[in-house]
Chains A and B, each alone.
Chain A
């Protein structure tokens, strides 16, 4: 075989290379390009170096949005993961009940995101919404458009309602994959329900939980549509999360440069968190051995 024949193999990866280039690398590079220039109009752009990065790093509104975002993401993550595992454990394992539960649980996942926001806008309205009226009838002066705490709780509830099903489905599939012999052995060993969960189910779920945590973290960290429809980021800025902040900057104020700089930082933050989660979960049980 001569060298030319060997090199011909490279043609085979050209399609993939082109797809990746046009779908990821080139757009990303455009953003990098924007982030280091001050753009006044077509053909009027000036190189500004790291100025936009420095500006964004010192932007106090961004700091607030970032803090809000982190609190929000970790809250929904904690609720969704624990609730997801809990519900998956109680779901029937076979028979018509299992199919019924799966379909019922998956319903929220089928609803478009802006519709989810709209549903909850109506659902939570204190004058006509089912939840709003009910909570008010309990004697709580609930109004999510005026009270920041109520607004927060509503956004969290909506996110949990919308996305816990995904965690449930993943965990359910993970639980179904555990061979019956493990449960039989545990019974013979006299293991309590908690011990079965702690030493069989949880370790076997580690893989799917890693996926669930990563997916849910990335998604909740980029949340945009539902809070935008529900609260529009208000009252004030109390439910303005990072992506909404970014959109306001880029589209609302047309600050393309700073927005591009921030986009890249945003991307790196998500990447960093995912890396931390991944490493932490992959090494979670190494400490158990002596």
Chain B
């Protein structure tokens, strides 16, 4: 159990990195609390796995430090770091029984037999593996195998953090839920710091207390699912979280009005002032959930027309064209949607302004 600090971390796989484009991980500075459950979320190739491997010690970063509870472990190999890692596909010692698999990390550390036995049985109990302890690991199903991989981390009492590298990729969808619930249960029981890499936002949201969004080698935001949804720190977060993602449109500011090519939208004056101060390329963002599609005669809103309606069951996704820009709006079931011409209202408290892709306010 440990607090994990990443201090000014960066990593390049090249030996002599020239520009920032040579770095897989650029300038990461953050603190992860002891006992927290974090999900590292980002699209493929954004540096998630690189970061995980740096934390676990499989990679030594090109620069910066990794601290566990204030202790510098940057140059320590994984076996000295008290971490456990669960990989994308189950990694097992095929020729061993489940029992021996679970006992393996302890036996390697020369822990006495009675204690090994006690720990293995305890962990097997927690993971519902007691029935298969005597079986050969190779013959089990993928979810049982993944539980064994996790179990090998749990048996060690000294484990500070457990890292997961997309552990549910090979699991059948209906078992994913079960396994995820098991993970939460285990987390509650043992209070390890958990770091979970995934590119599936549902997985991240159901698993973690806090979600860490990575984009292009940087941590762009750490927050609860709600924070990510309401106040995305970066346009990427807005676009990546939520389905469909946030509507983002380039704009200019005129006082507290954001000017789009077809009219203006009211913005919180405080935000507008800050945005003008920040300068740079400005963009306006709004979640599809908050965009209101009204009929043509409505007193306010920008004029546009509806081009498509997709029924999702509980709600409908309406595609609206405004001045050549395609916007998505989520409309609750039962509310009327204009057939063609319409007006679209942007509620002021929901409008976000981004300056050079970073949230203002």
Q: Which residues 164-191 of A sit at the B interface, judged by CB distance below 8 A?
A: 179, 181-182, 184-185, 187-191
CB of A86 within 8 Å of the partner chain: no
| Contact (Cβ within 8 A) A181 B91 | yes
Partner of B93, one of A179, A184, A192, A200: A200
In the complex, residue of chain A having the shortest beta-carbon distance to the beta carbon of B53: A184
The segment out of B79-87, B266-274, B334-342 that lies at the interface is B79-87
User: Looking at B91, B109, B149, B153, which has the most chain A CB atoms within 10 Å of its CB?
Assistant: B91
| Contact (Cβ within 8 A) A185 B87 | yes
| Contact (Cβ within 8 A) A181 B77 | no
- Residues in A neighbouring B26, C-beta threshold 8 A: none
Tell me the minimal C-beta distance from B77 to chain A in angstroms.
7
CB of A199 within 8 Å of the partner chain: yes
- Residues in A neighbouring B85, C-beta threshold 8 A: 184-185, 188
User: Looking at B95, B99, B136, which has the most chain A CB atoms within 10 Å of its CB?
Assistant: B95
Complex: how many Å from CA A185 to CA B58? Answer: 10
- Residues in A neighbouring B149, C-beta threshold 8 A: 185
- Residues in A neighbouring B79, C-beta threshold 8 A: 187-190
CB of B108 within 8 Å of the partner chain: yes
Complex: how many Å from CA A195 to CA B108? Answer: 9
Complex: how many Å from CA A203 to CA B136? Answer: 13
Task: Convert A264-290 into 0s and 1s, putting 1 for each residue whose CB lies closer than 8 angstroms to a CB of B.
Answer: 000000000000000000000100111
Q: Assuming the A-B contacts A185-B87, A185-B149, A289-B134, are A191 and B94 also in contact, with contact meaning beta carbons closer than 8 angstroms in the complex?
A: no
- Residues in A neighbouring B77, C-beta threshold 8 A: 187
- Residues in B neighbouring A288, C-beta threshold 8 A: 95-97, 136
Complex: how many Å from CA A289 to CA B105? Answer: 19
| Contact (Cβ within 8 A) A285 B105 | no
Complex: how many Å from CA A160 to CA B152? Answer: 42
- Residues in A neighbouring B56, C-beta threshold 8 A: 184, 188
Q: Assuming the A-B contacts A181-B89, A189-B108, A189-B152, are A203 and B78 also in contact, with contact meaning beta carbons closer than 8 angstroms in the complex?
A: no
| Contact (Cβ within 8 A) A187 B108 | no
Tell me the minimal C-beta distance from B110 to chain A in angstroms.
10
CB of B104 within 8 Å of the partner chain: yes
> Chain A: how many interface residues by the 8 Å CB criterion?
20
| Contact (Cβ within 8 A) A184 B58 | yes
Tell me the minimal C-beta distance from B298 to chain A in angstroms.
57
Complex: how many Å from CA A289 to CA B137? Answer: 9
Q: Assuming the A-B contacts A189-B104, A190-B79, A191-B104, are A184 and B135 also in contact, with contact meaning beta carbons closer than 8 angstroms in the complex?
A: no
User: Looking at A199, A289, A290, which has the most chain B CB atoms within 10 Å of its CB?
Assistant: A289
- Residues in A neighbouring B83, C-beta threshold 8 A: 188
| Contact (Cβ within 8 A) B78 A188 | yes
Q: Which residues 194-218 of A sit at the B interface, judged by CB distance below 8 A?
A: 195, 199-200, 203-204
- Residues in B neighbouring A182, C-beta threshold 8 A: 91
- Residues in B neighbouring A289, C-beta threshold 8 A: 97, 134-136
Complex: how many Å from CA A182 to CA B94? Answer: 11
| Contact (Cβ within 8 A) B105 A199 | no
Complex: how many Å from CA A204 to CA B56? Answer: 25
In the complex, residue of chain A having the shortest beta-carbon distance to the beta carbon of B163: A188
| Contact (Cβ within 8 A) A190 B97 | no
Complex: how many Å from CA A191 to CA B134? Answer: 22
Complex: how many Å from CA A288 to CA B138? Answer: 12
CB of B252 within 8 Å of the partner chain: no
Task: Convert B98-129 into 0s and 1s, putting 1 for each residue whose CB lies closer than 8 angstroms to a CB of A.
Answer: 01000011001100000000000000000000
Partner of B87, one of A181, A191, A285: A181
Tell me the minimal C-beta distance from B303 to chain A in angstroms.
56
Complex: how many Å from CA A184 to CA B79? Answer: 10
Complex: how many Å from CA A190 to CA B77? Answer: 10
Tell me the minimal C-beta distance from A199 to chain B in angstroms.
4
- Residues in A neighbouring B153, C-beta threshold 8 A: 188
Complex: how many Å from CA A80 to CA B174? Answer: 49
User: Looking at B93, B96, B99, B153, which has the most chain A CB atoms within 10 Å of its CB?
Assistant: B93
In the complex, residue of chain B having the shortest beta-carbon distance to the beta carbon of A287: B95
Tell me the minimal C-beta distance from A58 to chain B in angstroms.
45
- Residues in A neighbouring B109, C-beta threshold 8 A: 190
Complex: how many Å from CA A191 to CA B108? Answer: 6
| Contact (Cβ within 8 A) B95 A184 | no
Complex: how many Å from CA A67 to CA B122? Answer: 56
Tell me the minimal C-beta distance from B101 to chain A in angstroms.
9
Complex: how many Å from CA A203 to CA B100? Answer: 15
Q: List 30 A-B contacts (CB under 8 A).
A: A181-B87, A181-B88, A181-B89, A182-B91, A184-B58, A184-B78, A184-B91, A185-B87, A185-B91, A187-B79, A188-B56, A188-B78, A188-B79, A188-B83, A188-B85, A188-B105, A188-B153, A189-B108, A190-B79, A190-B105, A190-B108, A192-B108, A199-B96, A200-B93, A203-B93, A203-B95, A288-B96, A288-B136, A289-B136, A290-B99
Name B residues whose Cβ lies closer than 8 Å to a Cβ of A: 56, 58, 77-79, 83-85, 87-89, 91, 93-97, 99, 104-105, 108-109, 134-136, 149, 152-153
Name A residues whose Cβ lies closer than 8 Å to a Cβ of B: 179, 181-182, 184-185, 187-192, 195, 199-200, 203-204, 285, 288-290
Instruction: Sort A-B residue pairs by CB-CB distance and give the 10 closest, nearest first.
Output: A190-B108, A189-B105, A185-B91, A289-B136, A181-B87, A285-B95, A190-B79, A199-B93, A203-B95, A188-B78
Known contacts A184-B56, A199-B93, A289-B136; 16 additional CB pairs below 8 A are A179-B89, A181-B88, A184-B58, A184-B85, A184-B91, A185-B87, A187-B79, A188-B78, A188-B105, A188-B153, A189-B108, A195-B104, A203-B94, A203-B95, A288-B97, A290-B99
